[in-house]
Amino acid sequence: MGAAFLELRDLRVSYGRVEALHGVSLRIEQGEIVAILGANGAGKTTTMAAVSGLIKPAGGGIFFDGRPLHTLHSHEVVRLGITLAPEGRRLFGTLTVLENMELGAFTLKDKRRAATIRDWIFELFPRLAERVEQLAGTLSGGEQQMLAIGRALMGDPKVLLLDEPSLGLAPIPARSIFASVREINRQGVTVLLVEQNARAALKIASRGYVMEVGKVVMEDRADALLANTDIQSAYLGRSKTS
């Protein structure tokens, strides 16, 4: 087994005395969209937080291009090219759209590169371009998610971590977010996508992992997961057709 682009090896994370991840292993190859599915409390957000360096693992390791990440601080992880658009978006609500994006580019020394990325984000999300001076907290839910993703992209990441980007969004804005994620990936950004909306996630992903109570219980190609009857009943709401 060669080194993956991003690899989690037997990752264990505890909150106080309670272990939330009991040995999670994932592999993400360069250029992929990989989905992580699972019910509430399965440990998806904890996994993302560990990759970002927000939580120190109690065991196991995280490797990016063969380099250990789990010993780094979160700001160093960002510098290596891994950024997270966190669950609940965590925008700087009292700052403007533009100020939020500038903070996303905090680690980017090359001003011209930053301007290029900003233009690309405005192409991707024209709504943001119209609202640069608006306070982030006053945006609609869909616009806030666009900004959360745009802000994470401003750091020029190699890997974009997305934690529940469609959470709380109406179907149409949610669909537009998934379309944007696919477009971002086409531009060469590797994506690790956590979603409750399993069907939409699997439709844009190449592979998926299913987590239950702090463990990976299944791993397969996205189309195989979509066709899997267990997955359908547990996560895809079999009765629904899309």
Partner 1 sequence: MEELFQQLTNGLAVGAIYALIALGYTMVYGMLRLINFAHGDLFTLGAYLGLTLLAAFALEGKMNGLAVGGALIVMSMGLVALVGYLLERIAYRPLRNSNRLTAVVSALGASIFFSNAIMLAYGARSQVYPGGILPTTAIAFFGVEIPLMRILMFIGAIALMLALYWFIHRTRIGSAIRAVAIDQGAAKLMGINVNSVISLVFLIGPGLGAAGGVMVGLYYGEIRYDMGFSFGLKAFTAAILGGIGNIPGAMLGGLLLGVIEALGAAYISIAWKDAIAFTVLILILIFRPTGLLGERVADKL
Ligand X SMILES: Nc1ncnc2c1ncn2[C@@H]1O[C@H](COP(=O)(O)OP(=O)(O)O)[C@@H](O)[C@H]1O
Question: Which residues of the chain form contacts with partner 1 (CB under 8 A)?
Answer: 52-54, 73-75, 78-79, 83-84, 86, 90-95, 99, 102-104, 106-107, 151-152, 155
Interface residue with Mg ion, options 27, 28, 36, 45 (CB under 5 A) = 45
CA quadruple 57, 157, 223, 25: dihedral, nearest 10: -20
Mask: binding to ligand X, 15-34, rule CB under 6 A, as x and -? x----x--------------
CB of 56 to ligand X, least distance (A): 13
Q: Is 46 a residue that touches ligand X (CB under 6 A)? A: yes
CB burial string 53-62: b at 16+ within 10 A, e below: bebebeebeb
Min. distance of Cβ 145 from Mg ion in angstroms? 15
Total binding residues toward ligand X, as defined by CB under 6 A: 10
Which listed residue (3, 10, 41, 230) binds ligand X by CB under 6 A? 41
**CA–CA separation, 202 and 197 (whole Å):** 9
Q: Does residue 45 bind ligand X (CB under 6 A)? A: yes
Shortest distance in whole angstroms from residue 55 CB to Mg ion? 13
Ordered strands of the 159-163 beta sheet: 82-85, 159-163, 190-194, 33-38, 207-212, 215-221
What pairs with residue 33 in β-bridges?
Answer: 191
- State the minimum distance, in angstroms, from the CB of residue 19 to ligand X: 9
Which partner, ligand X, partner 1, Mg ion, none, binds residue 99 by CB below 5 to 8 Å per kind?
Answer: partner 1
Stretch that binds Mg ion, among 42-50, 73-81, 142-150, 177-185 (CB under 5 A): 42-50
* Phi/psi of residue 97, nearest 5 degrees: -55, -45
- Does position 43 interact with ligand X (CB under 6 A)? The reply is yes
Report d(CA 105, CA 113) in Å as an integer: 10
Residue 84's CB: how many other CB atoms inside 10 A?
24
CB 205 within 8 A of CB 189: no
Binding site for ligand X (CB under 6 A): 15, 20, 38, 40-46
